Amino acid sequence: MLNCKQVVDLASKSLDDSVSWQQHWRMKLHLMMCSNCRRYIKQLKFLQKVVLTMDGQNSKIALSAQAKERIRNAFAATHIAKK
Amino acid sequence: MPDSIREQAGNWLNDYGDMLYRYALLRVRSEATAEDLVQETLIAGFQSFENFNGKSSVKTWLMGILKHKIIDFFRKNCREKLSLNDSDLSEDLIAYQFDEQGHWKVELVDWKTPDQNLCDKQFQRIFHQCLSRLPKRMLDLFMLRTIEGVSSEDCCEILGFGSNNQLWVALSRTRMKLRSCLDSQWFREN
């Protein structure tokens, strides 16, 4: 019988990769009887959703004027080298 | 190289610079590094523009180059083989949450309608704060494996994990920390 700590680690693994069917069933069996673990897994799935919808693009963060200038110069130097 | 391409490439910085920068910054979490990566990406894109086949947009193509640059960056910065310490494995949190038989000691609070938070600006801010509190290499791993979708084998190689098993445990503990932070900073407050 798996304990909660093992189920928690296994649940995380199943989000990234596959788990064997034996492990899968042992986990299911545990979840049938453990509401706290069910809740935990539900929350992990939500975290995964947040992370996967997070692309960093819905912010106003932008390159600073100095950084742009520096990149532009470096880029221009390559241009000339390539001519 | 025709002048039209040169001209077009000159606009990349204005057209895609910020987008590439945000993408890189989220993953490497250093402004200076993210700026360097954007620069390297634009230059590499320009130098290899002959290879651009036009099947995807320039934007997608530049993103592809940036992804490689990000992975290279992690690879270069994780030369030493890492051994996971207690803080990485969240031993304190484990001891707080589980008893010696590995059963829960605490009762988790139900997160009511969590999906409503997805677009909430304040929630996003707290989420990023929680991410930034994670140990650096745990966050690196989380970024590469979960966000960037790099395979486990490659993550092990890039970040110097000894085995896949170490990597799974590390990822699990990263999520555990993140969950706990979000729980206390957001869900119990709202």
How many helices and strands (H and E) does chain A possess?
4, 0
- Please indicate if any CB of chain B lies within 8 Å of the CB of A69: no
Q: What would the mean pLDDT of B145-157 be, rounded to a whole number?
A: 87
Rounded to 5 degrees, what are φ and ψ at B64? Answer: -60, -40
**Record: contact A47-B35, CB cut-off 8 A:** no
Q: pLDDT class for B177, splitting at 50, 70, 90?
A: very high
Helix-strand-coil percent breakdown of chain B, rounded to 5?
70, 0, 30
Q: What ipTM was predicted for this assembly?
A: 0.83
CA B10 to chain centre: 29
Tokens representing residue B29 in the block: 């979490």
Helix (H, G, I), strand (E, B) or coil at A20: coil
pTM comes to 0.83
Task: Select from A9, A76, A61 the least CA-distant residue to B17.
Answer: A61
pLDDT reported for residue A3:
96
Asked if B111 and B154 count as a contact pair (C-beta separation under 8 A), the reply is no
pLDDT reported for residue B2:
62
Q: pLDDT class for B172, splitting at 50, 70, 90?
A: very high
**Record: contact A74-B43, CB cut-off 8 A:** yes
Smallest Cα distance from B79 to chain A, Å: 24
pLDDT tens for B100-148 read 999 999 999 999 888 888 888 899 889 989 998 988 888 888 888 988 8
pLDDT reported for residue B81:
57
Residue ranges for chain A with pLDDT beneath 70: 56, 58, 79-83
The distance between the two most distant Cα atoms of chain B, rounded to a whole number of Å, is 70
**Record: contact A17-B6, CB cut-off 8 A:** no
